[in-house]
Chains A and B, each alone.
Chain A
Amino acid sequence: MDAKRHELNIQLAQMLKGGVIMDVTNVEQAKIAEEAGAVAVMALERVPSDIRKDGGVARMSDPAMIAEIKKAVSIPVMAKARIGHFVEAQLIEALRIDYIDESEVLTPADEECHIDKTKFSIPFVCGARNLGEALRRIAEGAAMIRTKGEAGTGNVVEAVRHMRTMNREIRQLREMPVEEVTGFAKQNGLPYELAMQVKELGRLPVVNFAAGGIATPADAALMMQLGCDGIFVGSGIFKSANPQARARAIVKATAYFNDPQKVLEASLGLGEAMPGLEIGQIPPEQLLAKRGW
């Protein structure tokens, strides 16, 4: 991929700022998401909470299903490839959709290597728990970052942890003298050049969305107030009592995240949110955020 193409891919993510990207599993849901004001949809066969429930190996979705969703909406379409599964990524690129999520929600195909994203023309978004993960993914060619959170739980605690961790590390980097950056970069596994860029910018050089456990308008506004540029909602919409109303409400709350009155209005009369999972109740080997490094 040439530098111009990479810049265009980073810029598409910039155009998604302040928006909500929704997981959808069929054409009908994709249309509901688009109508509600989603800025993009993530096409997948099962939302994370079902993947968690079903167990087994979770792979890339049926390409026919992704293609159908692409046909049904005019907003950008994303799809997930397994961590390290560069052939799944090649197939998604051949489908000519808009973005690939190299995602820990699917079962990793490679426990040592993430995909070399510089070999692709299609942009990638990747999950991160801290600044090191974020910058390693950017070094590999990711054009957009999101928190990992803990997908399919309806519990925002891990997304908050990941965003706070990144913010803390950015603040540390920003304030330290240049001669300390080498050691900090070594300790946290930060590619040095990118660490210097983050130090200069005071944030990631690409768009950073929140993902993993966002279930309510208040969750979305919380992540935005913590400094995220936009929101991914996975199971939170179509596993709730009234997906249409909840989708619209999360769009509203994301746009007006700093205005409690508007977030309150968005939160009224939505019916039941998706059922939530306590992180401590999940067996450690079933934690998705630990996948990838």
Chain B
Amino acid sequence: MNNNQKNIKSGAIGVLDLQGGVFEHLIHLERLGVAGRRVKYPPDLANLAGLIIPGGESTCISRLLNIFEIKEPLLAAYRAGMKIWGTCAGAILVAGEVTGEQACLSIIDIAIERNSFGSQLDSFQKEALIPEIAAEPLPLTFIRAPKILRAGPDVNILLKVDDYIAAAESDKVLATVFHPELTGCIALHRYFAKKCGLTTETDKKTAIDPLWKNESWTKLARIAK
């Protein structure tokens, strides 16, 4: 049933594989030499140092978390020390407060609003400096992105843009409303790996991998090998 169970080892970062941009994160982890693992069943959570909840549709992912009974095991792994990073839809799922709807995992004290910029025509790319993450400005991709409207006292704001917060973290949770996995930026994945207590390949210190292309994810979704 589950190929992952055979070679479970510690020191890996999982990517929640219910719907959305799973391959994009796995390819970024591969670039950093970090072991990545798809998380589809509760046993896949065993011994994970961290878990990435990817972009996708938050209502879909949250429904699947509930009906396939992954939510409770995921929260148990979190309480046992697994760090969690939510990107875009993932940031909505980790938030303690979601405008107009019930919060899902509620593990970081932020208030977030879904699809806060408008339609796809309002999606955009920009650059910003996040001093905690890298010394150079990083490319940020916002796709029908949410906005973090408020952060609690135990939450560190990593990036504020205009009237909203774009990245924030607590001791155990990182939330970004943009998609580093849709750019060549590997600095946030490196930062999260460090937060999980993992070491990344030392020869890759750069914030941006010049070899990244938007088609890079297709390597994990080939029709012909």
Interface residues of A in 250-272 (CB under 8 A from B): 251-252, 255-256, 259, 261-262
A11-B182, A38-B60 are contacts. A122–B121 as well, Cβ < 8 Å? yes
Residues of A within 8 A of B182 (CB): 11, 14
Is A23 located at the chain interface by the 8 A CB criterion? no
Known: A8-B124, A11-B179, A122-B121. A205 touches B224 (CB 8 A): no
**Complex-state Cα separation, A15 to B61, whole angstroms:** 12
Q: Are A98 and B21 interface neighbours, CB within 8 A?
A: no
Closest Cβ of chain A to B166, distance in Å, is 16
Q: For residue A121, which residue of chain B has the nearest CB?
A: B121
Residues of B within 8 A of A75 (CB): 57, 59
Q: How far is the CB of A164 from chain B (nearest CB, A)?
A: 11
Given contacts A4-B125, A8-B125, A96-B118, contact A252 B64 (CB under 8 A): yes
Most buried by B among A16, A37, A229: A37
Contact A255 B64 (CB under 8 A): yes
Asked if B40 is at the interface of the complex by the 8 Å CB criterion, the answer is yes
Is the Cβ of B63 less than 8 Å from the Cβ of A37?
Answer: yes
Asked whether A63 is an interface residue with its Cβ less than 8 Å from the other chain, the reply is no
CA distance A33 to B106 in the complex (A): 25
Interface residues of B in 180-225 (CB under 8 A from A): 182, 214-215, 217-219, 221-225
Interface of B is mostly: loop
B111-144 CB mask vs A (1 if < 8 Å, else 0) is 0001100111101110000000000000001011
Set B20, B22, B63, B125: member contacting A251, Cβ < 8 A: B63
Q: How far is the CA of A33 from the CA of B111 in the complex (A)?
A: 26
Chain A residues, CB < 8 A from B24? 14
Would you call A19 and B114 a contact (CB within 8 A)?
no
Check A15/B121 contact, CB under 8 A, given A8-B143, A38-B60, A39-B60: no
In the assembled complex, A7 has its CB within 8 A of some CB on chain B:
yes
B222 and A259 contact, CB distance less than 8 A? no
Closest to A252 in B: B67
Interface centre among B60, B68, B143, B179, by most chain A C-beta atoms within 10 angstroms, is: B60
Q: How many residues of A contact B (CB 8 A)?
A: 55
Report yes or no: A259 in contact with B1, Cβ–Cβ below 8 A.
yes
Instruction: Report whether A97 and B119 are in contact in the complex, using a CB–CB cutoff of 8 Å.
Output: yes
How many residues on B have C-beta within 8 angstroms of the other chain's C-beta atoms?
45
From A40, A97, A123, A201, give the contact of B218 (CB < 8 A). A201
Residues A17 and B124 in contact, CB atoms below 8 Å apart: no
Taken residue by residue from 1 to 30, chain B's Cβ proximity to chain A (1 for < 8 Å, 0 otherwise) reads as 100000000000000011111111000000
Min C-beta distance of A194 to chain B, whole Å: 12
Given A17-B20, A75-B57, A202-B224: A98 and B125 within 8 A (CB)? no
A205 touches B215 (CB 8 A): yes
Give the distance in Å from the alpha carbon of A9 to the alpha carbon of B120 in the complex. Answer: 8
Q: Which residues of B contact A28 (CB under 8 A)?
A: none
Q: Which residues of A contact B (CB under 8 A)?
A: 4, 7-12, 14-19, 34-40, 70, 74-77, 93, 96-99, 121-123, 166-167, 170-171, 173-175, 197, 201-203, 205, 227, 229, 248, 251-252, 255-256, 259, 261-262
Residues of chain B whose beta carbon lies under 8 Å from any beta carbon of chain A: 1, 17-24, 40, 55-57, 59-60, 63-64, 67-68, 88-89, 114-115, 118-121, 123-125, 141, 143-144, 179, 182, 214-215, 217-219, 221-225
Q: Provide 29 A-B residue pairs closer than 8 Å at the C-beta atoms, listed in order of the A residue.
A: A7-B214, A9-B120, A10-B214, A14-B21, A14-B217, A15-B20, A15-B143, A18-B17, A18-B18, A19-B19, A19-B57, A37-B59, A37-B63, A38-B57, A40-B57, A74-B59, A76-B120, A96-B118, A97-B119, A97-B120, A98-B119, A171-B223, A202-B218, A203-B224, A205-B218, A227-B221, A251-B63, A255-B18, A255-B19
